[in-house]
Amino acid sequence: MNDNEPWPQIGQAMNSHVVRTLARAVGWRLTDMPADLGLPLAGCLYCEANHLLVTTTVGSLAASIAAMDSVLVETRSDALIIRTPAEDAMPGFALGLWHSGRVTWHWMLTLWVDVDAGLWLVPTPDKRDGTAASGFQLTARHLHVEEVPWRTAHERADGLVRAIRLLVHGERSPASGPAGGEDRS
């Protein structure tokens, strides 16, 4: 056992239901990073199309961000860290974006699914860090940074329900309907 936190907690991305679900829904082609690279890279998957490292943790997102930060500068990659604690049904997300030698981290993010089944990472409902609310649309080739994709609290709730349906039941169809069950199309 390694007492150097967060190393024992980063990795295992290929075994994550959440990673497999996102990769399938967005169209990411993920490959294993070579084990001889050492931690934390050895615990990551890589999507070459959008230069994205994907890893998971059961520990603190803050500690995982600290462990991954210099790796993003070295590899000139973005990173998605998915926190999947056993006691919480919904994963938490941190997104590190590399640009011009610097990394900007966005965390306290959650999955949100739009009416057309597009996937987004958006601020959690309880995010209170004073930063501007941005949404990050997940696509096969790019991470699009945009304003949050809803206009009302009800639309926000509908997207969160669709995200739960995707993660728990694998439902991604826009026909799944909004929160409350009825289809308003």
Residue 88 lies in a domain: yes
Tally of structural domains, the chain: 1
Residue 174 and residue 127: Cα distance in Å, rounded? 27
Q: What is the DSSP letter of 13?
A: G
Is 170 inside any structural domain?
no
Give the whole-angstrom CA distance, residue 16 versus residue 86.
Answer: 12
78-83 vs 52-57, strand pairing mode: parallel
Tell me if 168 is assigned to some domain.
no
Q: Dump pLDDT digits (tens) for 101-155.
A: 899 999 889 999 999 999 999 998 776 554 556 899 999 998 888 888 999 999 9
Task: Let me know if residue 153 belongs to a domain.
Answer: no
169 in a structural domain = no
Q: Residue 38 domain-assigned?
A: yes
Of the candidate ranges 47-51, 55-59, 151-155, 161-165, the one whose mean pLDDT is the lowest: 55-59
Is the peptide bond preceding residue 6 cis, with omega within 30 degrees of 0? yes
- Structural domain boundaries enclosing 33: 7-148
Is residue 119 situated within a structural domain? Answer: yes
Kindly state the tokens that stand for 177: 């309907």
Residue 36 located in a structural domain: yes
